[in-house]
Chain A
């Protein structure tokens, strides 16, 4: 608790070495469809510091993955992106890079893989099918400064790190199981040693021991000084490794707090309802259904499913500092009351 109490909401008082590696400000993503506009991400503010593991959680279709793709300029042509995402890769001396303003050339040469690594959601579609795992890994290592002589040994080491038998590197992607392909994709993302790693559902399709292995690998990455943005629907995963958790609902971050505080005393009614759905807790689904991102209400998007909603919820709640985190709600839960009522 001593660490959380030293986290005031004002950024400008932080010491210089604690400044964010990535500062996302007002990120908004819209997709134009023939007959509708998808509100995928709305006015999103997030910061992530070196050594921090930030988990973005939420129900499927809330816009989590779009966030990762927006940061890497991987959105389709019908997307419009506004806001800024300032990356400070080289430490205090280097200038900031706005990921949202970069051209494709700059993204390809300086950002993707180098400054920002991506562990993709679906490795089967992100691995080159005509090359073995070893060739993919050695090629990546060579492109990032390993010598011809050193790369093969480094490839074996990386494979072992992610829990892949180095002998399996000689297989082609179609000869790998889903879990092995996921581990290979993770190794490829880690190879250039990027200061920021985006992990988009990195544990999909893995069984529990491998899930834990992958999460611990990300955690160790953070402990070595990198920052990790973990996008996941798996709350148990977030609870295991995250320092901070941002809960997304219907394109917005509704609560952002240190992991300990969020899991013991959530203040947004949606965060509380989502945690109650866990089998370890009430195993009760969030009532109702999430709204369509093409047809969001003007006010709080959770109001229709929320027992605490009143007329005030017809107006979009502002994101404000609340306790140790940030919150967007007109009727937040009393933390003390939630903690007292939480199941053991």
Chain B
């Protein structure tokens, strides 16, 4: 089992007794962009959360670069869990309103004890990559737009240089220009790091333009 890639193998998941995924397989190879679509409630977000190691599947398993994962995020070795990052639909729900944007981006670095000098340098580098200016970095979430906040979340998701990035409707609430910009930043990162990307969207035009191949959930 040395196959590179992020894989869900025969995973099942349910909420209460409602089964949302039943023996689903998905493989994302390095450098590849996989589009995922399906109607509301078909389990797209649940699959993304399994792949992001936020939930444990009822059956089946997730493997990261050939290593089967048992348990969820905090139970998984740092070196494995930082290989996978996820970007959610609503940046407001995904950020602590008390933190400045700079601290939002830096939090995952500080969480693993990165020296402060390195934190500052890396935060500045990523903020520039996603197009956040210095004056925005000192603001807190309530004082920036959704588009600006989602850029900060994108920067945060890239701090540990993940091998796989899962975008769960990450551009659905953004205007066309910000959406295209977020996609461009993700593609640029993907090119430089040979990263695998999962794009979940309802927008067939977006998937057609962004993904190498599109997978549907029933």
Cβ-defined contact, B39 with A59, below 8 A: no
A60-B145, A277-B180, A289-B133 given; A233·B175 CB < 8 A: yes
Cβ-defined contact, A207 with B40, below 8 A: yes
Cβ-defined contact, A277 with B147, below 8 A: no
Cβ-defined contact, A209 with B39, below 8 A: yes
Cβ-defined contact, A280 with B205, below 8 A: yes
Interface string of A270-282 (1 = CB under 8 A from B): 0001110111100
A279-B205, A283-B183 given; A58·B173 CB < 8 A: no
**Is A235 in the interface zone, CB < 8 Å from B?**
yes
**Is A284 in the interface zone, CB < 8 Å from B?**
yes
A92–B115 Cα gap in the complex (Å)? Answer: 72
**Is B95 in the interface zone, CB < 8 Å from A?**
no
Interface string of B166-194 (1 = CB under 8 A from A): 00000001111111110110000000000
A179-B40, A280-B205 given; A273·B177 CB < 8 A: yes
- How many A-B residue pairs have C-beta atoms within 8 angstroms? Tell me: 72
Q: Which residues from 196 to 212 on chain B have a C-beta closer than 8 Å to any C-beta of chain A?
A: 202-203, 205-206, 208-210
Cβ-defined contact, B176 with A277, below 8 A: yes
A188–B98 Cα gap in the complex (Å)? Answer: 34
CB-defined contacts of B146 to chain A, threshold 8 Å? 60
Chain B's closest residue to A235 (CB) is: B176
**Is A129 in the interface zone, CB < 8 Å from B?**
no
CB-defined contacts of B145 to chain A, threshold 8 Å? 60-61
> Which one of B148, B177, B202 lies within 8 Å of A286 (CB-CB)?
B177
Cβ-defined contact, B177 with A279, below 8 A: no
- The SS class assigned to the A binding surface is loop
Chain B's closest residue to A59 (CB) is: B175
A233-B174, A279-B203 given; A59·B147 CB < 8 A: yes
Cβ-defined contact, A207 with B39, below 8 A: yes
> Which one of A59, A210, A236 lies within 8 Å of B177 (CB-CB)?
A59
How far does the Cβ of A120 sit from chain B's closest Cβ, in whole Å? 15
> Which one of A58, A208, A284 lies within 8 Å of B175 (CB-CB)?
A58
Cβ-defined contact, A283 with B209, below 8 A: yes
A263–B135 Cα gap in the complex (Å)? Answer: 35
Cβ-defined contact, A279 with B39, below 8 A: no
How far does the Cβ of B206 sit from chain A's closest Cβ, in whole Å? 4
Interface string of A200-212 (1 = CB under 8 A from B): 0000110111100
How far does the Cβ of B82 sit from chain A's closest Cβ, in whole Å? 28
A37–B179 Cα gap in the complex (Å)? Answer: 28
**Is B131 in the interface zone, CB < 8 Å from A?**
yes
Chain B's closest residue to A278 (CB) is: B176
Cβ-defined contact, A279 with B206, below 8 A: yes
CB-defined contacts of A236 to chain B, threshold 8 Å? 203, 205
**Is A225 in the interface zone, CB < 8 Å from B?**
no
Interface string of A174-197 (1 = CB under 8 A from B): 000001000000000000000000
How far does the Cβ of A60 sit from chain B's closest Cβ, in whole Å? 4
A179–B89 Cα gap in the complex (Å)? Answer: 14
Taking A61-B148, A233-B173 as known contacts, 9 extra A-B pairs with beta carbons closer than 8 A to each other, sorted by chain A number, are A59-B175, A60-B146, A60-B175, A179-B40, A233-B176, A236-B203, A279-B203, A279-B210, A284-B184
Binding site for A on B (CB under 8 A): 39-40, 131, 133, 135, 145-148, 173-181, 183-184, 202-203, 205-206, 208-210
Can you sample 25 A-B contacts with CB below 8 Å? A60-B145, A60-B146, A60-B147, A60-B174, A60-B175, A61-B148, A205-B173, A207-B40, A207-B202, A209-B40, A210-B40, A233-B175, A277-B177, A277-B179, A277-B180, A277-B181, A278-B176, A279-B205, A280-B209, A283-B180, A284-B180, A285-B177, A285-B178, A286-B177, A289-B131
